[in-house]
Amino acid sequence: MNNYIVLKNRPSGRPKESDFEFKEEERPSPKDGELLLKTKYVSVDPYLRGRMRDEKSYIEPFKLNEPIESGIIAEVIESKHDDFEVGDYVNGMLKWKKFQLSKGEGLNKVDGNKAPLSAYLGVLGLTGITAYLGLDKIGNPKEGETMLVSGAAGAVGSVVGQIGKIKGCRVVGIAGSDEKVKMLQKEFGFDAGINYKTTENMKQAIKESCPNGVDVYFDNVGGEILDAAMANINSKGRVVNCGAISLYNETETPKGPRHETTLIKKSVRMQGFTVRDYQADFPSAVAQLATWLEEDKLTYEETIVEGFDSIPKAFIALFDGENKGKMIVKVS
């Protein structure tokens, strides 16, 4: 038999386990040109929340009662495809199924000897690439500048901060616990950290941690933390709008202070992006990240949850900030 997970209801506000449904089917068999894949590691990411809404975006919404998909590392266990052999590991946008067929489209082989398989969902996968290209295309950090990162202990934020250090910036991270803040400094080499959950005046806290102001703000959260960063932004500052997890579960567009006067007075750029905008740059990004990893200039954290049944729970936990680094579900 085979197990899979479908979207049962479009979540209203924070997703609940009852928005997902576990289903069973026969385990499929590959025809000519097809592979049978066994899911090893599943990536759960905040952006999936967006695909659960029924609205136009850069990517099609998930359909109700159909399997959800995300980044997955799988093992080829049967192959009737010339390019893949049994025992190959592949990375791709795949369905939340224990077993699934593929025609090989969009799959990339990964080498478990070069780096742990799970790293291909994190630092060497879309989250690492997102960090790298967000900075390369928009943030453009220069030596001696100050970089502020929110969601700094998360999968993207922790890589962003480390790249900031490689580029010679003062790097300050915002995270949601003292333990995470300690991790930012001890493991990822950030210069300072702010626990937003215990800080009353974020504007003032950023001012103290960034005495020369903020040149690059890499934003993973949006909302009031963005406002506090904008209050400290320098002339010609760049805001990389990568994520807005603080707003994803809102049912109406929240209001906040208008930023247009700051944008004008300080010649500031705010730019959103989706990593797919820069697909042509993926290979060079991965190559650079792999080099830094090999040179020990880059390290990463993972929160690995065990078991196929834990996938929805692990996804929901993202909104409580329960993960350190990349949140991954180990299925088999």
Whose Cβ is closer to a second copy: residue 113's or residue 253's?
Answer: 253
Neighbours of 61 (CB within 10 A): 15
Instruction: Find the distance separating the first CA and the last CA of the chain, reported in whole Å.
Output: 15
Task: Rule CB under 8 A: say whether 256 interacts with a second copy.
Answer: yes
Q: Give me the residue label for tokens 């909302």.
A: 223
CB of 226 to a second copy, least distance (A): 6
Tell which phi-psi region holds residue 168, choosing left (phi > 0), alpha (psi between -120 and 50) or beta.
left
- By rule CB under 8 A, what count of residues binds a second copy? 38
Q: Segment near a second copy (CB under 8 A), from 28-36, 74-82, 234-242, 300-308?
A: 234-242
Q: Helix (H, G, I), strand (E, B), or coil: what is residue 323?
A: coil
Whose Cβ is closer to a second copy: residue 93's or residue 263's?
Answer: 263
Task: Rule CB under 8 A: say whether 262 interacts with a second copy.
Answer: yes
Tell me the C-alpha distance between 317 and 321, whole Å.
6
Task: Rule CB under 8 A: say whether 254 interacts with a second copy.
Answer: yes
Question: Residues 13 to 72: which contact a second copy by CB under 8 A?
Answer: 50, 57-58
Question: For the chain, what's the residue count?
Answer: 332
CB of 87 to a second copy, least distance (A): 39
Q: Give me the residue label for tokens 């390369």.
A: 136
Reported as half-sphere exposure (CB side, CA atoms, 13 A), residue 42 has a value of: 31
Q: Segment near a second copy (CB under 8 A), from 109-117, 167-175, 190-198, 267-275?
A: 267-275
Tokens of 205: 């806290």
Task: Rule CB under 8 A: say whether 263 interacts with a second copy.
Answer: yes
Q: Segment near a second copy (CB under 8 A), from 4-12, 125-133, 233-241, 281-289?
A: 233-241
Q: Give 22's strand partners.
A: 5
Tokens of 144: 């001696």
- Judged by the rule CB under 8 A, the positions of this chain that interact with a second copy are 50, 57-58, 219, 222-223, 226, 235-236, 241-244, 247-248, 253-274, 277
